[in-house]
Chain A
Amino acid sequence: MSDISLNKDELLEKIESLTAQDHEKILKTFKHYLTSEYAAFLNTCAHCGLCADSCHYYLTDKDPKSIPAYKLKLISKIFNSTFDLVGKRFPALVGAEKLSNKMIKEWVDTLFGRCSLCGRCTINCTMGINIPYLIRAARGALASVGIVPLGLQSTVNTAVNKGNNMGILKEDWLETVEWLEEELQQDVQNPEAKLPLDKPGSRVLYTINPREAMFFPLSITAAGKVFYAAQESWTFSSENFDVTNYGLYNGDDEAAGILSSRLIDTMHALDCRELILAECGHGYNSNRWEAPEWLSREYGAEVKSILQLIADYIREDRIKLDPSKNGEVVTLHDPCNLVRLGGMVEEQRFILRHCVANFVEMTPNREKNYCCGGGGGQLSMTRFAERRIQAGRLKAEQIEATGAKIVATPCHNCIDQLMELNKHYKLDIEIKTVTEIVADALIIPA
């Protein structure tokens, strides 16, 4: 695996051209992210090493640069040389080091290239240090001077400039919805079945991950079928339908705020009561938990995952399910942003137990689950793709050990990574969203 420093490319050339003024801006932005709690975390590491065996990067490459404590050290070195009195005067005493272009290269290689912000190190840290938060802050500091790996930054730019992260045109989105509506009508044999658009006063505003509309539309029809069966009052927006927020990954709070505010504002403009987030791990974490911070305001409405909605349908007997329709062995992958970082742990299990005949857990699971390797923007950063596939080896082994033929996961980002792991590690599995599995189990009254 080649080190970033050996590759000649545009990002490295850009780093070489950074000036002292740029360095100041990086430090200023980084300081802006640091509350006293996080500043304290920077020098709290007891070097116990427990984090090493929690990280899917270190466990698969055994490179000391992949140890979370090492990643943290890269950040605290700079912090100490800039903001710490002892570090300023006697840098060697506290391992302080001045920010340099060489160090920025190492930040890019390690903080973008060896971390999926999955948070597994934090739950294994004896001091409870929120390492991913600090890594995100460092990424955001680099983003302030335009130092972000290409695919990640272009995904943020496309979302901010074109309204969704794949640059789907409104007319193409409308054409796709019309097509999927016809498919739904055939499926449920009712010409009145709808995928409503911009319907004011609907109870629910539903969102999607743009890759569903662009390349993998079966999950959209599946959600439509579940809403149809539950007789939900719901709508899509013709403009703001994108649940994703890659501002979480490049650390740019301003961009992140712009993206989340579109959904909230659309919900209020359409006079909907609940914003329902599609199966998207980081979209849930961003819009449910982080966005009120980015926007410095309260929503004044409910923001939920579609999993919560479906679990309610089951509890309230609004949908009928036949688990024998999903006879294969099914296991569940827990997306880090939804489960470990988002707190949504049991709803997906409750749903699956009602929809499949043979559900098995992988080990470890829930908040202890391993990242698939695709999170933290890794899927979009092609320069680190080989490491991403290697870091996914643990997930591949977990899946194989279950003997499952179908892996359910409530996250489209995880799905793409699992599809690649399936191909690379020859797992011979099928990967589905939870909603697709629910739709397959539905009994539609004639």
Chain B
Amino acid sequence: MPEIEVKGQQFELNQEGFMLEPQEWDEDIAMVLAKTEEGIEELTPDHWKVIRYIRGYYLEKNVAPMVRKVCKNSGFQLKYIFELFPSGPAKGACKLAGLPKPDGCV
């Protein structure tokens, strides 16, 4: 199993880089995942706005929000979401927010 090291602690990822134990997530982990999985050196306030919304939605409803909700809540255009997270909302934003891999064709 692949792993990442965050502040001296090891965390397991699945073969696609999603966290194996989503409840272990914190913002330090998001910063490391941003580098290793998305090649983002530093997360900007706009990244955090999206990541925190997705994380909160997941904790409340146990699923990922639809991209409509992400746009509406952040006030960002769809195109800008894809600029922020080049792998897209699922394998980019949701992965950084520590969500498990969604079902379906993703």
Contact = CB atoms under 8 A, between A and B. Distances in A.
Interface of A: 151, 154-155, 158, 165-168, 172, 175-176, 179, 209-211, 213-218, 244, 280, 379-380, 382-386, 412-413, 416, 419-420, 423
B104 A155 contact: yes
Nearest to A377: B105
A333 B15 CA distance: 25
A40 to B, nearest CB: 35
A210 B66 CA distance: 10
A217 B104 CA distance: 15
B63 A179 contact: no
A172 B86 CA distance: 24
Nearest to B79: A218
A211 B14 contact: no
B47 interface: no
Nearest to A381: B15
Contact of A217 (B63, B72, B78, B105): B78
A179 B16 CA distance: 31
A419 B16 CA distance: 13
Contacts of A211: 90, 104-106
B99 to A, nearest CB: 12
Nearest to A213: B66
Contact of A176 (B66, B90, B91): B66
A392 B101 CA distance: 20
Interface residues of B, number: 25
A289 B70 CA distance: 37
B102 A166 contact: yes
A113 to B, nearest CB: 11
Contacts of B89: 214-215
Contact of B103 (A158, A216, A218): A158
A215 B78 contact: no
Contacts of B7: none
A175 B67 CA distance: 11
A134 B65 CA distance: 39
A214 B88 contact: no
B73 interface: no
B87 A423 contact: yes
A417 to B, nearest CB: 9
Contacts of B69: 172
A419 B67 contact: no
A413 B104 CA distance: 9
A376 to B, nearest CB: 12
Nearest to A164: B104
Contacts of A214: 64, 66-67, 89-90, 102, 104
Contacts of A385: 14-16
B30 to A, nearest CB: 19
Nearest to A1: B15
Contact of B105 (A176, A384, A416): A416
Interface in B20-71: 63-64, 66-69, 71
Contacts of B101: 151, 382
A362 B63 CA distance: 39
